Amino acid sequence: MNGSTAHQSGVAVQVRGLQKSFNGHLVLQGIDLDVAPGEIFVIMGPSGSGKSVLLKHIIGLETPDAGDIQINGQPIQAEGVMDQYRLAMVFQSGALLNSLTVGENVGLYLREHRLKPEKEIARIVGEKLELVGLKGLESRMPSDLSGGMKKRVAIARALAIEPQLILYDEPTSELDPLMAVTIAEEILNLKSRIHVTSIVVSHDRDLALGVADHIAMINQGKILAIGTPEEIKKISDPLIQKFLTVEFQKEKAL
Amino acid sequence: MFQNIGEILILFWRTLMALPQTLQHRRKVIDQLFEIGAASLLMACILSLFIGGVIALQSGPVLAERGLSSYIGGLVGLSMCKELAPVMMAVLIAGRIGSAMAAEIGSMRVYQEIDALRTMNIDPIRYLVLPRLVAISVSLPVLVVFSILVGWFGGAIVSMTNQQIAVPLQSYFSNLSEMVELDDVANGLIKSFVFAVVIGIVSCHQGLQTIGGPRGIGRSVTKAVVNSIVLILILDYFVTRFLLYFEK
Ligand SMILES: Nc1ncnc2c1ncn2[C@@H]1O[C@H](COP(=O)(O)OP(=O)(O)OP(=O)(O)O)[C@@H](O)[C@H]1O
Ligand SMILES: [Mg+2]
């Protein structure tokens, strides 16, 4: 573990030729990505296109069939590389530990790695929960929370790590518009405060266009385009255009 | 089940390697101890009372017919501590605690809690398997001590009250203390320790292996219990053989 200094800078992430198949079904078909230190990189794409699988590879939960992933130029499969960095992931489902209280979940990383004294942990936990609008819910159990509240606890848990790389899997998908804005602001805040590198998977166009330094569009396990929000908006690929502009029209639906 | 033995041994080895960190995880060990104790102590005592009773009931009249009823204390005493208490308690604990371990870890697996631990650089073996293995290895032998004592007592009650046997409490226990030596009790405790390790590792392994949704959890629980019991009964023979070498 890399000490407890709060102001480390974010890491660079490089993905090359990443391939993965499950039961003969090719889910990722050669992904190449470069994420610069301290930037917010948004991945968008239709449901089932392999976004969550990609995130799991980046944080080392899945092993690639081919290709490699590097953090700050070091391959993540190499012994000890992952231990050097503070990483965090906000799972699509939240993935809170159901046998622990909300407070214990948020403080888990600091407590298990003995990074802070108990009092300090309690303070940080309170602070992070307040940030996601869940002040004072430390002693609740995850099973008593709504889906969106669980997601926010998961975000608080990731924030408490003060990570160098944070992966969000659809952080705003279960939140109301106000909370979604709060979370978007926090993603931006974290970037300016601790220069964390963020990779955000999201369907939320406003969030993506609002916070991203770069956006990657992914479809069926392949990257369609990568660019700044302005560049992506100008690309004429019909799928991308549809994805960015489609609106629900009552007349059409009826 | 046997193709998993290699994986189970690896998990056992890695848990052993983590053993020095037990002290850091003592809170979790204590939690587990309470859980096991609360779930099993009363049940263990009731079960043992009846097991002791039934041995006396079965063998007492046979001994009495041959004028050997004074040996009933030793017979119940030895069979309880060398065989019945360790095996029955292990089966009970496999059913109550092994199943719970497999279910809990299995659901953590299925609902990505273990993935979340791994992203936080928390080793599931240290965090989940170690405390459970330590707790069960401590508590099963303790439970067996209770079981032996209560079983002896159950045998005593039956021997005393059954008309055909009619051995008074005092001669029951004096024969028992004559026949049963500390080694015999130790014998049972060693067995139960081995069984505890088997239950703990098999159940945790099965939990970690869980795939699929709630169905997968159910499957893991069944497998954990059945495999533990099968292994317990097979190992019982070999451990008994092994321990015989040390008897004078
Ligand atoms: N562990 C797994 N085993 C088998 N198939 C899997 C596994 N994980 C993902 N898949 C498959 O990979 C594909 C991509 O899944 P993934 O979860 O990455 O989609 P996604 O882009 O995150 O979609 P969504 O936006 O709905 O979350 C899906 O077809 C899914 O069935
Ligand atoms: Mg997904």
**What would the pLDDT profile of A135-168 be if each residue is shown by its tens digit?**
999 999 999 998 889 999 999 999 999 899 999 9
pLDDT on residue A7: 47
CB B108 within 8 A of CB B128: yes
Q: How confident is the model at residue A190 (pLDDT cuts 50, 70, 90)?
A: confident
Sign of CA dihedral A36, A40, A46, A51: positive
Could you tell me which residue, A239 or B119, shows the higher pLDDT? B119
- Neighboring chain A residues of B111 at a CB cutoff of 8 Å: 93, 95, 98
Residue B5 carries which side chain, given as an amino acid letter? I
pLDDT on residue B247: 75
Strand partners, A172: none
pLDDT on residue A216: 94
Weakest mean pLDDT among A31-45, A190-204, B130-144:
A190-204
Residue bearing the CA closest to ligand 1, atom 31? A48
Boundaries of every domain in chain B: 23-238
Residue B111 carries which side chain, given as an amino acid letter? Y
Residue A135 carries which side chain, given as an amino acid letter? K
Ligand 2 mean position, distance from CA A201 (Å): 8
Q: What is the rounded CA–CA span in Å between residue A54 and residue B43?
A: 49
Residue B243 has pLDDT above 70, yes or no: yes
| Ligand 1 mutation pick, A47, A52, A89, max ligand atoms within 8 A of CB | A52
- Mean pLDDT along residues A110-137: 92
pLDDT > 90: percent of chain A: 60
Residue A251 has pLDDT above 60, yes or no: yes
Q: How confident is the model at residue A18 (pLDDT cuts 50, 70, 90)?
A: very high
pLDDT on residue A81: 84
Residue A1 has pLDDT above 80, yes or no: no
Question: Could you identify the residue written with the tokens 């090719």?
Answer: A26
Q: How confident is the model at residue A253 (pLDDT cuts 50, 70, 90)?
A: low
The pairs formed by A244-248 with CB atoms below 8 angstroms and a separation of 24 or more are A244/A205, A244/A209
Residue A5 has pLDDT above 60, yes or no: no
Ligand 1 mean position, distance from CA B9 (Å): 32
- ipTM (interface predicted TM): 0.88
Residue A204 has pLDDT above 90, yes or no: no
Q: How confident is the model at residue B148 (pLDDT cuts 50, 70, 90)?
A: very high
Q: Of B104, B112, B122, which has the smallest distance from its Cβ to A91's Cβ?
A: B112
Phi-psi region of B212 (alpha: psi -120 to 50; beta: other; left: phi over 0): left
Residue A92 has pLDDT above 70, yes or no: yes
Are residues A87 and B111, on separate chains, in Cβ contact within 8 Å? no
Highest mean pLDDT among A69-73, A202-206, B69-73: A69-73
pLDDT on residue B212: 87
Residue of B nearest to A158 (CA): B120
**Max Cα–Cα distance, chain A, nearest Å:** 60
Q: What is the rounded CA–CA span in Å between residue B244 and residue B99?
A: 32
Comparing CA positions, the residue from B142, B205, B211, B243 lying closest to residue B8 is B205
Determine the topology of domain A10-86+196-254 in CATH: Rossmann fold (3.40.50)
pLDDT on residue A127: 94
| Ligand 1 mutation pick, A18, A51, A61, A223, max ligand atoms within 8 A of CB | A51
Q: Is the CB of A152 under 6 A from ligand 1?
A: no
Q: What is the pLDDT of residues B17-65, one digit of tens each?
A: 999 888 888 888 999 999 898 889 999 999 999 999 999 999 988 888 8
Neighbouring C-beta atoms of residue B45, cutoff 10 Å: 18
Residue A197 has pLDDT above 50, yes or no: yes
The DSSP output letter for B95 is: I
pLDDT on residue A167: 95
Comparing CA positions, the residue from B142, B102, B43 lying closest to residue B228 is B102
Q: Which structure tokens are listed for B77?
A: 């005493």
Q: What is the rounded CA–CA span in Å between residue A149 and residue A155?
A: 10
Residues on chain B bordering chain A, Cβ-to-Cβ distance under 8 angstroms: 104, 107-108, 111-113, 115-122, 127
- Neighboring chain A residues of B124 at a CB cutoff of 8 Å: none
pLDDT > 70: percent of chain B: 99
Question: How many Å lie between the alpha carbon of B25 and the closest alpha carbon of chain A?
Answer: 9
Residue of B nearest to A83 (CA): B121
Ligand nearest to the CA of A91: 2
Q: How confident is the model at residue B221 (pLDDT cuts 50, 70, 90)?
A: very high
Q: How confident is the model at residue A2 (pLDDT cuts 50, 70, 90)?
A: very low
- Mean pLDDT along residues B142-152: 94
Q: What is the rounded CA–CA span in Å between residue A132 and residue A140?
A: 15
Q: Which structure tokens are listed for B234?
A: 């097979």
List Cα–Cα distances, B25 to A111, B120, B126, B130, B236, in angstroms.
11, 17, 8, 8, 31
Ligand 1 mean position, distance from CA A220 (Å): 10
Residue B48 carries which side chain, given as an amino acid letter? S
Q: Is the CB of A221 under 6 A from ligand 1?
A: no
Comparing CA positions, the residue from B61, B54, B32 lying closest to residue B199 is B32
Q: Is the CB of A164 under 6 A from ligand 1?
A: no
Residue of B nearest to A161 (CA): B120
Residue of B nearest to A110 (CA): B120
Are residues A89 and B113, on separate chains, in Cβ contact within 8 Å? no
Q: What is the pLDDT of residues A32-52, one digit of tens each?
A: 999 999 999 999 998 899 999
Q: What is the rounded CA–CA span in Å between residue A14 and residue A35?
A: 6
Measure the CA dihedral A22/A26/A30/A35, to 10°.
-50
List Cα–Cα distances, A119 to A2, A111, A122, A125, B181, in angstroms.
21, 11, 5, 10, 53
Mean pLDDT taken over chain A:
89
Comparing CA positions, the residue from B98, B100, B84 lying closest to residue B47 is B84
Q: What is the pLDDT of residues B97-130, one digit of tens each?
A: 999 999 999 999 999 999 999 999 999 999 999 9
pLDDT on residue B154: 93
Ligand 1 mean position, distance from CA A200 (Å): 16
Q: How confident is the model at residue B237 (pLDDT cuts 50, 70, 90)?
A: very high
Q: For an interface test with A, which of B24, B104, B120 has the most A Cβ atoms less than 10 Å from its Cβ?
A: B120
3-state SS of chain B: helix, strand, coil percent to 5? 90, 0, 10
Q: What is the rounded CA–CA span in Å between residue B83 and residue B187?
A: 9
